[in-house]
Structure 1
Amino acid sequence: AALPSALAFENIMSILPGSYVPTDLLLIGDHAFPLAMNSQGQVLMAASLYGSGRIVVLGHEGYLTAFPALVENALTWLRGDGSDNLSVRVHRNVSAVADNLQKSSFQVEVVGAFSDNLGVGVYVTDAYSVGSDSMELVAFLKAGGGVLIAGQAWSWADFEDDLEFLLQGISEFELPQGSTASEVLVHGPLAFPIGTTHDGRAFLAGAYYGQGRVILISHEGFLGLESMAPIWKNAIHWLDEGRRGVVGVMMDPALKVLSDSGLKCEKTNFRKDLSVFVCTAYITEHLEEIQNFVAEGGGLLIGGHAWWWAHSNAGKNVLTEFSGNKILNQMGLSLLGATIGGGSYKAPVPSQAIKDSYHFRHLLNRFAAHVTTGEELSQHEERYLKKLGNDCNVYLQMKAHDSSHYRQVLATLTDILITSGLPEVSRQHNMIILKKIPKE
């Protein structure tokens, strides 16, 4: 997306205060775009359209006062094209913003919590003061409101706690002998593998998407296995996030197993009032509604394989045309045509998983640093370079040029090729082979 003129600012990146340690913003939605990036390509300020509304996010709350001109430009853009609504409410925890706006044309009020009952055009807050207002803020955005929010989350981000929760009482995964699941490509920055084969191929993975969560198992039959009931109990509670809401399940075999979670489970098709929705990856209805359901805080447990679809639809693109991937791609997960057989696979050790597991985005960034700045790769990382090359080729088949995630990966691959060129293929240079990168 082009940078809106109302948000334009000059030389801000050259004077970012060094005392602030901002969050690297992850652009999830297709309508999100960066406003400021550092030399490593990390996004420090971003904006997005959502529903009929607009949002601007700053990677540190200090930026709200460090750049008053940027804040004023942001407020102008956030109130919407052609809008004459000058009302701005500022949360009291960032009341200094109101002080800076005293000489502006905006009508500013400092408040203790969010409320849209007076038709306020824009709401300004830090990321720590949202609390129970999150759903109301989403509704406000969708209806045409503007939100300016700032904060950093680097001090608590990691997936170790998630794996600790999900793997309670789980030492290994027993996939039935004779079963054939699909491999999962875990490519999102907020996605992580949970169960993998000995050579790093994932069959069970999770992700954060917006305010919600998703878990993918690469064969729907596994959802109905009594032997896997412990992992599904943990998964349902992780997805429910303590709401103790209704779990809607589409499939009878899974309903019986999931009912042992202690939560209220009922057979139903998709409904917006559910806390968690359980479905197969073959679902063809409500795809966009399910994405929005997760983005706005719901949980999704989805199971299915794509290898049979790929076998039956020769010449078609499994990443873009298989129905399940139309939901999953934006969440950082994709079902592939490659297969994984039954067997016993050891569960990861949470404290070691991030370091020891294969993660597409993480290893790609490490490899890019190796090529462009000479950083050394560990033997563990070098072991997975051939898989990384194969996954890059698969990932490029997504051709999602309207996705910020895809464009970031494309930019990384382009930098690698510009820096290193195309090596001559030989026994010594066969670790990573990339197809020609398409032009945007």
Structure 2
Amino acid sequence: MSNNGEGAGDRRPASFGNRAFARYFSAIAVGAFGTALTSVALPVLVVAVLGANAFEVGIVNAAQFVPYAVLGLFAGVFVDRWQRQRMLVWASVGRAVSLALIPAMWVAGLLPIWMLVVLLLLFGAFSVFGFAATQSLLPQIVERRALRAANARLDQAEAVGQTAGPALGGALVGWIGAPLAIAVDAVTYVIDAVLISGLRLTEREPRAVTRRSVRREMAEGLRWVYRHPVLAPLAWSTHVWFIANAAALTIFTVFALRTLGFSPLLYGLLFAGAGLANLLGATLAPRVGARLGSGSTITVGRALYPVAWMLVTSAPAGGSARPAAIAAVLVFAGMILQGFAGGLENANEMSLRQAVTPDGLLGRVNATMRSANRTLGAVGAIAGGSAATLLGERSSLLIAVGLFAVAFAIAIGSRVRAARDDEDSAAPT
């Protein structure tokens, strides 16, 4: 079994006294800041700079998810075979290069929508391996009983990045333009790679690959997820959530920037507010999870999303000051509620998944769920863009609200509701 190289053989808790965790935390925080910055810059680039319509926005959003459908299961197998730290470093380098090419090609006048889609597909391919390694490396850094606290701290880091990133992103977009703002995210991935490469971990040696079938190993991961009495309904609830969330965010880009007439700065501040709420939710996540149980906490979080998006959907459009102010208040309220729900449930979902899965399967389980989630996210993005084009933005957002409600219904109607990560869960059947 792998050991924390800075802890004399036993893994240490999720505190900054654990130098490996502190470095890992810093890498996650820096990456979250850059990702949040791009979450503002990329939609502005697509809508305002490249002049894309709602359907093209959906295609661009889907491009970030499609590689999970193609490579996700393979990534899980190789994360369980190879050293996760090394894989994560190279994945960060690849993502840095992919993003850096966006402003480079824009400066050269070579960035039509289709080229942006190609670069995002490349970025997504590196992300498949990067996220599978990220989610599977944490149990090598902290002991398993500290996973919920560790995941909550990481969520706090991401929430801080999501708070500062969009606000700065909106300002940077107004100052230097959306393409150059994306270059900042590329730099954060370089910093991420440097921090991760400096982790002093003693990972297990890579497993021999000649005697095992890739197909058989993928099947083992699929069986663990979809036959487990807790992970299976959790997976299906999360899959539906990803369809709804990708559709809603795709529609929201056009709804906020065009229909409601929000400026890039205001658009960024919306996500900054969501980031603050996410930080609050992540801060409360360990305490609420310990009191209610991780499954109940996840279920409560899922109940908040339909309410959040109903607030967004009800925002009025209009040229006068009063409708604009009401729209801003409703959208801010919805985004804050969405951010809080995400912070509350995410650490509990990750710790539950990590706690019930053996280390030798963790890469495949994480990659299986992330692959399915991102694949369905691509479906949701395209469906959201298409629905907004055909049905209008408000009607399409109402459909997304219904899907969020379905995700909640799956969680509350299954064993997810009573699951805990601090006791043994039932074995797969």
Q: Same fold (TM over 0.5)?
A: no
Q: Specify which structure has the higher proportion of helix.
A: 2
Larger relative contact order, structure 1 or 2 (CA cutoff 8 Å, min sep 6): 2
Q: What TM-score do you get using the length of structure 2 for normalisation?
A: 0.23
Q: Which has the larger radius of gyration?
A: 1
Q: Specify which structure has the higher proportion of strand.
A: 1
Q: What TM-score do you get using the length of structure 1 for normalisation?
A: 0.23
